[in-house]
Amino acid sequence: MKWIDSVVDRITMYRLALYELIFLLIVAESLSYFGQLPFLPQFLALSIVYLLAVSWVVNKAFAWAFRAPSNPESLYITALILALIIAPPSSYVDARFLILAGWAAALSTGSKYILAIGKKHLFNPAAFGVAATSLALGLGASWWVGTGVMLPFVIVGGFLVIHKMRRLDLFWAFFIVALISIMARAVSVGGNVLASLNSGLVTAPLIFFASVMLTEPFTTPPSKLLRITYGGLVGFLFAPFVHLGSIYSTPELALLVGNAFSYLVSPKRKLILTLKGRARLTRDTFDLVFTSEKPLLFKPGQYLEWTLAHAWPDTRGIRRFFTIASSPTEHELRLGVKFYQNGSTFKKRLLTMKPGDTIIASQLGGNFVLPKDIKKKLVFIAGGIGITPFRSQIQYLLDTQEVRPITLFYANKTPADVAYHQMLALAKEKLGIKTVYAFTDPGAVPQELPSAVPAITAGVIKREVPDFAECTFYLSGPHGMVTAFEEILADMDIPKRHIKTDFFPGFV
């Protein structure tokens, strides 16, 4: 699994999804050339070009009319999804295809602007475009990607996307409920259960639907329990025998109902934040301070998705997830960011932002929050800029004067890499929160950090926290660090339910 992480961690989830769709269409072109798919390769190419062209034109028009920033990644992803679920034309003047694909592309793109609350679209664009066209014109998508010959490639691409997004809970909730529904239907009508399962897994778009469309971050709930409920609901509605009157369920209708549920239980907001200023925390880490016209209600330790449009973005794209470094008690939103010399174009643009420049923040979420029981013993373990959620939580405790039994282990390469040191010192003085620093390349350890250790080991944890077995552990930092500490804690017989993780794929 480590080699997979090393490959995908440097690519944003959106760019990875785009690459998967391109990969599937290239595979389909090859298979159609050898007669393995029921259309000619030139007509699949025509479908792709037509859908991209309509989507691009409509997106430009709406972006101009609404004075909204355009997101090319989202446009391409939606158009390519449509190319994989709408059957290609049978000729160069296939009127049915031109009408279906044209309206589906136009409605998909337009829904991002029209069916939006707080500048966030409510429904999966591709699902809405196909469903609306089907209901209005009686022209439906064939979901041709759900064929046996495409299945191995769909599984490979889908696995990478789900692994990247850490949405296995959502996928399995949907998958299990959908299969149970299919089997229950087969049993109730006296059908062949194995044949029904084969049909549901091989000749239905279940895997593609679950890995590419169901997991779209904009339209899914942020918390684990709600995601599981959401996945189960869509999984039940995914079965084609579910109907309301004469309207029978389709994959796109099932997803739209799920999207509506997601919005009701976790309303989405998009904020336009203005840079107020920045402060250097360490030699390569900055604290960026933003203001917002509208207040944001959040819990200490939660994250936002940050979108920063810029010219010629690299493979990591224009969007990134970062923990909110500020406390809900503070008036501004803070973002602690580590910059690298050869970092991503996103980070380079972020570093060159000037006061008054704006950035878009959305998709508030995350379960990496303090427990309700203030007497619960906690151990925080942070690596590098992974300190940011703990900065949010500890600053909140300082501002509210709430005392909790917390020990923080903070690992860096050198003492010069320590961020928020003054706040941590104040937390020790005011709240009794002990911080144990670890430096892999210590050099000259400052006098104010006399208890620094070379590494955070099981022995160090046991020595500093004698009652460690009674604690809940919070891990935040690079993926390699988080997984390493999960193994250490497992060897210490710490149950998984007492370990909470928070990491970000790729810090470049």
The residue-averaged pLDDT of 330-357 equals 90
Beta bridge partners of 359: 273
Query: Which amino acid is present at 419?
Result: A
Query: Which amino acid is present at 386?
Result: G
Question: Running DSSP on this structure, what letter comes out for residue 86?
Answer: S
Q: How far apart are CA 471 and CA 406, in angstroms?
A: 9
Pairing status of strand 406-412 against strand 434-439: parallel
Tokens representing 260 are 């509506």
Q: How far apart are CA 443 and CA 459, in angstroms?
A: 23
Name the more confident of 377 and 64: 377
Answer whether residue 301 shows pLDDT above 90.
yes
Pairing status of strand 243-244 against strand 472-477: unpaired
Per-residue pLDDT of 130-145, as tens digits, reads 999 999 999 999 999 9
Per-residue pLDDT of 34-52, as tens digits, reads 999 999 999 999 999 999 9
Residue of 131, 155, 146, 150 whose CA lies nearest to 211: 155
The residue-averaged pLDDT of 471-480 equals 92
pLDDT band at 491 (very low <50, low <70, confident <90, very high): very high
User: Which percentage of the chain shows pLDDT scores above 90?
Assistant: 56
Region for residue 323 given its phi and psi (left: phi exceeds 0; alpha: psi -120 to 50; beta: otherwise): beta
